[in-house]
Structure 1
Amino acid sequence: MLALWDLQKTLPICGAVLMAALALGGCSSQLADLAPADAPPRAREPGSYLPVHDLPPDRDQAIIPLEQRAKIEAELAAARDRQAAAAKDAK
């Protein structure tokens, strides 16, 4: 009777340990294999520094034209003034 009770107690524990080991074993896959296909290749020298002065392409052009930027800034300033007035009225 004692041996049957020990088996009933240890069997679920062994099963849980086995399932945890299998689940953790699945996490050990190589993360480098999961990189997208269009990712740039890795550097051959692991200790090399990234180039600091190399800028991404198209950084010389303004992202937003100056006229549109002025319009956006004016709209934001008007919204800020409306919120300040609404907060002042709420007090």
Structure 2
Amino acid sequence: MLALWDLQKSLPIAGALLIAALALGGCSSQLADYTPTDAQAHSRDSGGYLPVHDLPPDRDEAIIPPDQRAKIEAELAAARDRQAVAAKDAK
């Protein structure tokens, strides 16, 4: 009688798990189904690595002019000082 009681309790749970597995299995599909038909195939060339040792050409001019760089550095230093004062006041 005890085994029958366990079967009656576990049968609905097993059924629910089976239904959930079938429902989730229906949601899965092959990734190839999502590939557009006009997509180009990727080459599997193993020698297609980018040249790591090649460096870009040097630039003669600075990216940020020196006067703007000094202004930015001064603004950052002022912001750092304000944060340090605010942190001391918060303690």
TM-score by length of 2: 0.50
TM-score by length of 1: 0.50
Structure exhibiting the larger radius of gyration computed from Cα positions:
2
